[in-house]
Amino acid sequence: MVKRTSDLGAPADPSPDDDPGSDDGPLHDRVYRALRDALVTGRIVPGRAVTLRGLAQSLGVSPMPVREAIRRVSAEGGLVVGANRRVWVPDMDAARFDELVRARILLEPEAAVRALPHIDAARLDRLRAIDEAIDRALAEGDVEAYMAGNHRFHFEIYAAGPSRVLLPLIESLWLQFGPFMRSVYGRVGTAILVDHHVHAVEAIAARDADRLAEAIRADILDGMEVIDDTVLRRPTGSETSSSPESDPCLHVPG
Amino acid sequence: MVKRTSDLGAPADPSPDDDPGSDDGPLHDRVYRALRDALVTGRIVPGRAVTLRGLAQSLGVSPMPVREAIRRVSAEGGLVVGANRRVWVPDMDAARFDELVRARILLEPEAAVRALPHIDAARLDRLRAIDEAIDRALAEGDVEAYMAGNHRFHFEIYAAGPSRVLLPLIESLWLQFGPFMRSVYGRVGTAILVDHHVHAVEAIAARDADRLAEAIRADILDGMEVIDDTVLRRPTGSETSSSPESDPCLHVPG
DNA sequence: TCGGCAAAATTGTGATCACATTGACATCGG
DNA sequence: CCGATGTCAATGTGATCACAATTTTGCCGA
């Protein structure tokens, strides 16, 4: 039997690692954060359906707040509703990947430059600490820690400014990247990744907007080109036929 | 007594003009489209609260699908939930306006260029027809017709391609612009607007990507600069004090 | 052994109800 | 006449129930 629904890990766990975060705010908000976190860190794999009652039981809440959280996440592109009205983690293909990278390159340098004047010394120190944590995760090959650190690094920059428009757009892009990146790193490992964040840190310390934009752009392009050449534009589909279950998220057109 | 909740026009109208569109699909989807349309065409004014039961009664449905529609629209930035958990049409200020314009300039030329190869003769004809309708609306001073036509023109271009990433982002931006633009046009009129769409049509006919991108950029910048100088960066707040109710959407900082 | 076919379980959707909290309103005291 | 305070309506939130559509499962016959 093949499970076609995703249960976010341990369903009946008394202390689940899908912790809805802090216990403040409405329940649907906590469910939203939990779902979003599971998506960004890649704990939910593409190709699996996300069911209302399943997710509700997995988080120990009623289906009602899950409904609103799913609607919210799907509005941000993290989930898609099929024609059957069932909710899926969207598959990645070369066209969507290209569009996502292009959107990131257009928006993130702009957001970084706009946030630059608001980055104080404390935040710069935090950025350096995150960068070191990323290096450790990279050295140890810890995929999840790397992804979490990378996310924190970028948004520690973008969220410095009072942005209320660019930031949600960029979060939507990361939300769409998360599940795909996780399975990619799970396959190719983190050894191929280089740390470009130090350039961004130097540019911020020097208050150099142009260099910061270029560092962000290079960071995005570098990581993405590796994925692009390694996974997405593979010439043959031989590996898919040899191990069909190990690659549930790639949908190479043609 | 001042009404603080928006009722989307006629509440008990047997044939409301807030038609949820085509009658297919789930109810919450129809409510979503109705709400989104009301926002984009500016039928809901900033500063008014959108209540669940009010909107439900206004559309003749139960509060349940309205809940999901509101959650969806708020995820796209068309509505904001206050600390009181009440839902408002967000106010516009100079900073948010600037960010919205910048995001439009970054994303829309890219989307247009990507869609260009997929624009066939039929779509080009449709674009010309929409452009003529816009000219008529402009000549007659019909604000709502102009806004609807302008929206249709841009998205007739962007939606030509198979975009599934850029398009939702751009729709989110328009959703945030809608209510503000409406009240702006209601004040300054449509006489100040110039039609830049003909340049885009020419560029499409010539298959010139650079000229198309430049036409889109000019169209955005021109319309926005007018607003910027006319309404947003007004030197004094004298008009606000003279007629406080006629200007419920502007929040000039400082 | 394999391909339809019907039964059963599961899913999303919508409605209704109960409850805590917020906001507005009227009343009362100064 | 004005401000404080208590009351009451209204709002968002969450849960539960019913229903239709879809999916899965089990079974029978070829």
Residue A147 confidence (pLDDT): 85
Q: Identify the band that residue B249 occupies on the pLDDT scale cut at 50, 70 and 90.
A: very low
The number of CA neighbours under 13 Å toward the Cβ of A165 is 29
- What would the pLDDT profile of A156-184 be if each residue is shown by its tens digit? 999 999 989 999 999 999 999 888 887 78
Q: In angstroms, what separates the C-alpha of B93 from chain A's closest C-alpha?
A: 11
CA of B64 to C1' of D17 (A): 14
Q: Would you say residue B121 has pLDDT above 50? A: yes
Strand C nucleotides, any atom under 7 Å from protein beta carbons: they are 10-17, 22-25
Interval B203-224: pLDDT, tens: 999 999 999 999 999 999 987 7
Are A72 and B76 a contacting pair at CB < 8 A?
A: no
Query: Bigger pLDDT: B5 or B40?
Result: B40
Scanning A143-227, the segments in alpha helix (DSSP H) are 143-158, 166-188, 197-205, 209-227
Bases in strand D with any atom closer than 7 Å to a protein CB: 10-17, 22-25
Distance from A70 to chain B by nearest Cα, in Å?
9
Q: B102 and A166: CB-CB below 8 Å?
A: yes
Q: Does residue A248 lie within 7 Å of nucleic acid chain D, judged by its CB?
A: no
CATH of A94-233, one of 3.40.50.1700, 1.20.120.530, 3.30.930.10, 1.10.10.10: 1.20.120.530
More confident of the two residues B29 and A232: B29
Closest CB from B68, B74, B173 relative to A67: B68
Share of chain A above pLDDT 90, in %: 55
The larger pLDDT score, comparing residue A72 to residue A183, is at A72
B251 CB within 8 Å of a chain A CB = no
Task: Kindly report the average pLDDT of chain A as a whole number.
Answer: 82
Q: ipTM of the predicted structure? A: 0.85
Rounded percentage of chain B residues whose pLDDT exceeds 70: 80
Between residue 49 and residue 68 of chain B, the positions with Cβ below 7 Å from nucleic chain D are 49-54, 63-64, 67
Q: Is the pLDDT of residue B114 over 50?
A: yes
Give the closest residue to A111 by CA, choosing from A156, A177, A176: A156
Higher pLDDT, A82 or B20: A82
B106 or B8: which leads in pLDDT? B106
Q: Which residue has the higher pLDDT, A30 or A49?
A: A30
Judged against a pLDDT cut of 90, whether residue B41 lies above it is answered with no
Query: Which pLDDT score, from 0 to 100, does residue A190 have?
Result: 67
The answer to whether the Cβ–Cβ distance between B75 and A76 falls below 8 Å is: yes
Contact flag B165-A100 (C-beta cutoff 8 Å):
yes
Q: pLDDT tens across B163-174, in order?
A: 899 999 999 999
Query: Regarding predicted confidence, which is higher, B15 or B183?
Result: B183
A168 in B contact zone (CB under 8 Å): yes
Q: Is the pLDDT of residue A10 over 60?
A: no
Minimum distance, in Å, between the CA of residue B194 and any CA atom of chain A = 27
Q: From CA B203, how far away is CA B221, in angstroms rounded?
A: 18
Fold for domain B94-234? Four Helix Bundle (Hemerythrin (Met), subunit A) (1.20.120)
Put simply, whether B163 touches A (Cβ < 8 Å) is yes
Which residues 29-68 in chain B have a CB closer than 7 A to strand C? 29, 61-65, 68
The confidence score (pLDDT) of residue B190 equals 67
- Give B71's contacts in chain A (Cβ within 8 Å): 28, 68, 71-72, 75
Provide the pLDDT confidence category of residue A3 given band limits of 50, 70 and 90.
very low
Copy the structure tokens of residue B194: 């110039």
CB contact under 8 A, B76 and A71: no
Q: At residue B71, does pLDDT exceed 60?
A: yes
More confident residue, B3 or A144: A144
State the average pLDDT over residues A188-197: 74
- In chain A the first and final C-alpha atoms are separated, in Å, by 29
- What are the domain boundaries of chain A? 1-91, 94-233
For the structural domain made of A1-91, what CATH number should be given?
Answer: 1.10.10.10
Tell me the DSSP string of A34-96. Answer: HHHHHHHTT-S-TT-EE-HHHHHHHHTS-HHHHHHHHHHHHHTTSSEE-TTS-EEPPPB-HHH
Q: Using the predicted structure, report yes or no on whether residue A247 has a pLDDT greater than 60.
A: no
pLDDT of residue B234: 52
Task: Judge contact between B198 and B131, C-beta under 8 A.
Answer: yes
The pLDDT tens digits of the residues spanning A86-122 come to 999 998 888 999 999 999 999 999 999 999 999 999 9
pLDDT in tens, B135-153: 898 888 888 888 889 999 9
- Chain B 9..28 CB hits on strand C (< 7 A): 26-28
Tens of pLDDT, residue by residue over B85-96, are: 999 999 888 899
Burial B81-97 (b: 16+ CB within 10 A, else e): eeeeeebbbbebebbbb
The helix or strand, by DSSP H or E, that contains position B87, with its residue range, turns out to be strand B87-88
CB A165 to CB B77 under 8 A? yes
Reported as a pLDDT band with limits 50, 70 and 90, residue B117 is very high
Q: Which tens digit of pLDDT belongs to each residue from B177-205?
A: 888 887 787 777 666 777 789 999 999 99
